[in-house]
Amino acid sequence: IIQNGDLGYASAPSNIALLKYWGKTLGREQIPINSSISYTLGGFRSFTKVTALGRFFPDEIKSDALFSNQLILKNKNNEIIQIPHKMDRLIKSILFPFGKEIYLKIDSYNNFPTACGIASSASGYAALVAAIADLLQLQIHFTEQELKIWLTEWSRLGSGSATRSALTGDDKFFVKWETPSDHKIDFSETQNLKYHPKWRTLQHVVFILDSNEKSTSSSEGHKFAETSPFHKIRVAGIPSRMKLMEKGLQEFDFDFIQYLSEEDAYSMHAVMQTGEPKACYLNNETAEIISIFVKLRNKYEAKAFWTLDAGPNLHVLFMPDSLSFVQEFHQIAQKFLNRKINNIVNNFNESLIIG
């Protein structure tokens, strides 16, 4: 039973997909049209506290009672912002079995800037759902497997990619999210992937070319994926690529992971750019600095690769012995563009933490 003033806490990492999902079969249930694999960005996190405030019983109307869910974003000067409709609906669905008039005050903080090329919806929704799990004390009432399903399913309904941020455990670096073989099923499983221990030293940095909000949100973009003539071809190739990527991760085949990730980033953006309406998330600078990156990598024989999300900012993943390559790339790219390129480094690796 939830009481007025009860609290729940959680923090969740963001993630970047190496094999990306683009398009959904069941829009509302957020069933992805294709399976995906992501790398957990443990250093880029959302920290969320939920407080239950509401009219629990008719005679228990307290002055601090809330009669709607409220979102306070700490990194936006503690502003109470309009709770997104999707988030409000999600909270109501989760709490419905526990009582009709329970409302949440959500205090949330991201330790990374918004719109910097790191998905705040993934970490944000995973942290929110996990904080609600803490409020409901599900860690005590559920088995590990039940809790995993609860967290990944509800997070997915918030934002597809959030399901890959909603796993706990030590094998947290690479996560697979599978689309069901029968597309009518509204369940799609997420699991930690086995990987070679050498991947544990993988480094990650984002080079920010543009920090403005994207003009087409990914939820909008997914709807048009199927209008691209390349969509079917991309989706048909995903099952074999998933297997190849899993093998490459298990065997530490760096070059192959590099090849698959870079190719998939191009292929997702090709689908985005050829749908109707067209969504072009990249800019000229992205193409220019990718070309600098690849030329320099060949010279250095560096163990490094790039990938992209739904935006122009370049994510770079590299082994520690290729740090000087990444630094030189940064210098050369800045010289070429004749301006400063900010970068944010992910230097911590932890999966979902409840409580």
- Interface residues with ligand PMV (CB under 6 A) are 17, 20-21, 36, 119, 121-122, 159-161, 218-219, 309-310
Q: Which parts of 173-253 fold into alpha helices (H)?
A: 218-224, 231-251
DSSP string over 62-114? -TT--SS-EEEEGGGTTEEEPPPHHHHHHHHHHHGGG-TTEEEEEEEEESS-T
Q: Specify the residue, 3 or 215, whose C-beta has the smaller distance to ligand PMV.
A: 215
Query: Please, what is the minimum distance in Å from the beta carbon of residue 225 to ligand PMV?
Result: 10
Q: Specify the residue, 203 or 219, whose C-beta has the smaller distance to ligand PMV.
A: 219
Cα 241 to Cα 266: distance, rounded to the nearest angstrom: 14
Q: Specify the residue, 21 or 329, whose C-beta has the smaller distance to ligand PMV.
A: 21
Q: Specify the residue, 243 or 339, whose C-beta has the smaller distance to ligand PMV.
A: 243
Query: Please, what is the minimum distance in Å from the beta carbon of residue 222 to ligand PMV?
Result: 6
**CB count in 10 Å sphere of residue 212:** 8
**CB count in 10 Å sphere of residue 114:** 14
Q: CA quadruple 83, 89, 94, 95: dihedral positive or negative?
A: positive
Which residue in 169, 218, 205 sits closest to 190, CA to CA? 169
Q: Specify the residue, 13 or 160, whose C-beta has the smaller distance to ligand PMV.
A: 160
Q: Specify the residue, 102 or 202, whose C-beta has the smaller distance to ligand PMV.
A: 202
Query: Please, what is the minimum distance in Å from the beta carbon of residue 100 to ligand PMV?
Result: 29
Q: Specify the residue, 122 or 135, whose C-beta has the smaller distance to ligand PMV.
A: 122
Cα 118 to Cα 121: distance, rounded to the nearest angstrom: 9
- Phi and psi of 5, rounded to 5°? 90, -5
- Phi and psi of 86, rounded to 5°? -60, -40
Query: Please, what is the minimum distance in Å from the beta carbon of residue 81 to ligand PMV?
Result: 19
Query: Please, what is the minimum distance in Å from the beta carbon of residue 10 to ligand PMV?
Result: 18
Query: Please, what is the minimum distance in Å from the beta carbon of residue 214 to ligand PMV?
Result: 10
Query: Please, what is the minimum distance in Å from the beta carbon of residue 51 to ligand PMV?
Result: 26
Encode burial over 285-307: b for 16+ CB neighbours within 10 A, e otherwise: bbeebbebbeebbeeeebbbbbb
